[in-house]
Structure 1
Amino acid sequence: MAYLLFKTIISAVIIVAVSEVSKRSSLLGAILASLPLVSYLGIIWLYIDTESKTQVAQLSRDVFWMVIPSLSFFIVLPVLLKTELNFYLSLAISTAIMVAVYFTMIFILQRFGVNI
């Protein structure tokens, strides 16, 4: 239980740090947010929990492939916001597009024999 609480606190601290740093500097906030901290922590937690290098390698490979579709969110959101569309609607549309791109990426990878 203490370990789960520790993981939760560390994760929350990172999210708050990104939010607070972004208030002062969008560039520094973007740099912090773009670091693969979630992946890094997830890899560490997975290894501590399983001690499986195979599972860590698989997660790392899968994260690589899934970063590509996640970029669609960061392309679409600012475009929608510049059109004066409501923030929450822009967020929802960007998320829906990102999810569609995820499924498309998985489909394409499977067609090329890459199993995710």
Structure 2
Amino acid sequence: MLYYILKIFVTVMLIVLVSELSKRSTFIGAILASAPLISVVAMIWLYIETKDTSKINELSNGIFWLILPSLALFVSLPLLLRYGLNFYISMGISICITILCYWAIVCLLDHYGIKL
């Protein structure tokens, strides 16, 4: 139980760190947020728990293929905000666009025999 509390604490602290640093400098916040911190932490937790490098390989491969559709959020959100849409509406639309992009890439990869 203590291990899970530690996992939650470390993971939450990374998110809080990005949020707090972004208040002071959006550039520093962007650097931290764009770094694959969550991916690295997830791989570390997975390795500690399983010692299975094939699972790390699969996770890393999946992350690689799914980065491209995740970028849709970072393209659509600023555009929608620039056009004056409310933040929450813009975020909702951007999330929907991102979900559609995830679906499209998964279908495309499946068509070419790449299983995630």
Pairwise TM-score range, normalised by the shorter structure:
over 0.9
- Alpha-carbon deviations, 1:43-80, whole Å to 9, x = none? 01111111100001000000000111000000000000
Q: Please name the residue that 1:36 is paired with.
A: 36
TM normalised by structure 2 equals 0.98
Q: Please name the residue that 1:105 is paired with.
A: 105
2:64 equivalent to 1:68? no
Aligned-pair Cα RMSD in Å: 0.5
| Structure with bigger RCO (C-alpha 8 Å, 6+ apart) | 2
Q: Please name the residue that 1:55 is paired with.
A: 55
Q: Which amino acid aligns with 2:14?
A: I
In 2, distance between residues paired with 1:104 and 1:25? 35
Runs of 4+ in 1 over 6 A off after TM superposition: none
Q: Which runs of 5+ in 1 are unaligned?
A: none
Aligned length: 116
Q: Which amino acid aligns with 1:8?
A: I
Identity of aligned residues (%): 43
Q: Which runs of 5+ in 2 are unaligned?
A: none
Q: Please name the residue that 2:13 is paired with.
A: 13
Measure how far apart 1:22 and its partner are. 0.5
